[in-house]
Amino acid sequence: MQQHETTVRIHPAFSWEDIDTVLLDMDGTLLDKYFDDYFWEHFVPEVFAVTNNLKVEQARSLLLDRYKKVESTLQWTDLDYWSEQLGLDIPELKCRIDHLIQVHPYVIDFLVFINTLGKKVHLVTNAHSKTLAIKLRKTSIGPYFSRIICAEEVGEAKEQPIFWTKLEKMLDF
């Protein structure tokens, strides 16, 4: 049985008839977060350590402090920012381990289901456009969305309340 051939029926506690637009997050919702967590917490520190002649734990500690300083901002997910800051080709490093990108079980089933209902389905992500391109290339989720919006397009990180006001105007929902 293929993943999208499930016999499990989804019975939500709400009526889909009342919903016109569905907004979905990508990392940790549709895709397993292991790729991102491993990349930033292990792989980048290892490469940074080798490049800068540091012990891996030193590099990890240094990088985690730097990450924390830009959490909840567009810089946090901006691959160009991190490439410049760290002197590493971050998009290329992501491609080296893109085999770790995985769609959560039953995501495709859900996306097929929600599309058969005729809903507007939007992917709304903090992921940088270069990260998004890598993940869409490695998965089959792209065609299921009416629109895909990165936080950089909105001009704010999703953690900022103004993001949602701007998104509402962009999508007219």
- Helices 56-69 and 44-51, interaxial angle, to 10°? 120
**Three-state secondary structure of 103-122:** ECCCHHHHHHHHHHCCCEEE
Instruction: Name the 3-class secondary structure at 59.
Output: helix
Q: How far apart are CA 79 and CA 128, in angstroms?
A: 7
And the tokens for 12? Answer: 């939500």
Cα–Cα distances in Å, from 55 out to 21, 46, 47, 97, 155? 48, 8, 10, 21, 36
Nearest CA to 74 out of 122, 19, 37, 129 is that of 129
Q: How far apart are CA 27 and CA 126, in angstroms?
A: 9
Q: Which residues are part of the catalytic machinery?
A: 18
